[in-house]
Every structure is written in structure tokens, then in C-alpha cells.
Amino acid sequence: MAGNEQIDGASLKAGDRVKRVDTEGPLGVVQKVRIETVRQSIRPDGDPPGITVTVLWDNGTLSHFVPGGLEKIGS
């Protein structure tokens, strides 16, 4: 799926400026949003797809987070 999709309230998309929730540290830019694809037949009932956000931090580090661990800054 494309990196700019919004699924289950995950309002982050590629190009958004973010920071980690509840901590000091560098700011970053969302590089992509990955939505896990699992066959419906092996997914437990009501289990939403997993979402991973890839962030390139201003210090050059690339890391992966769940949407709840990041906060969008700016508009």
C-alpha cells in the first residue's frame, strides 16, 4: 500500500514532521507508512492490521515506530 494512506486513525503520512511521544530527542520526517498484510484466514477476529512508521531523524538515524509512539508537529 502507498505510504500516504491513513488507516484506523493513523494520521501520519510520508513527509510529516514528527517527534517521539513523551521524550526529548531529535525531530524527524516520516519516510513511509507500512501496513502489514496478513491473510484474513490466519488473522484473529477483530485484529486490526499492524502499522509501522519509518522515520529519518535529523541526526541521521532511521528507525521504525508504531503510530502511537510518534506525535506530528506543525501542520
Backbone angles phi, psi at 10, to 5 degrees: -80, 100
Instruction: Give 7's pLDDT tier (boundaries 50, 70, 90).
Output: very low
CA angle 18, 50, 25 (to 5 degrees): 25
* pTM beyond cutoff 0.75: no
Residue 45 counted as domain residue: yes
- Residue 49 grid coordinates: 492490521
Residue 5 counted as domain residue: no
Residue type, 44: P
Residue 44 counted as domain residue: yes
Residue 8 counted as domain residue: no
- Structural contact between residues 48 and 66, judged by C-beta atoms closer than 8 angstroms: no
Structural domain containing residue 24? 17-72
pLDDT digit string, tens, across residues 11-61: 889 999 999 998 888 999 999 999 887 766 666 676 677 889 999 999 999
What's the total number of domains in the chain? 1
Q: For residue 56, what pLDDT is reported?
A: 97
Assign residue 9 a region: left if phi > 0, alpha if psi is -120 to 50, beta otherwise?
left
Residue 12 counted as domain residue: no
Residue 36 counted as domain residue: yes
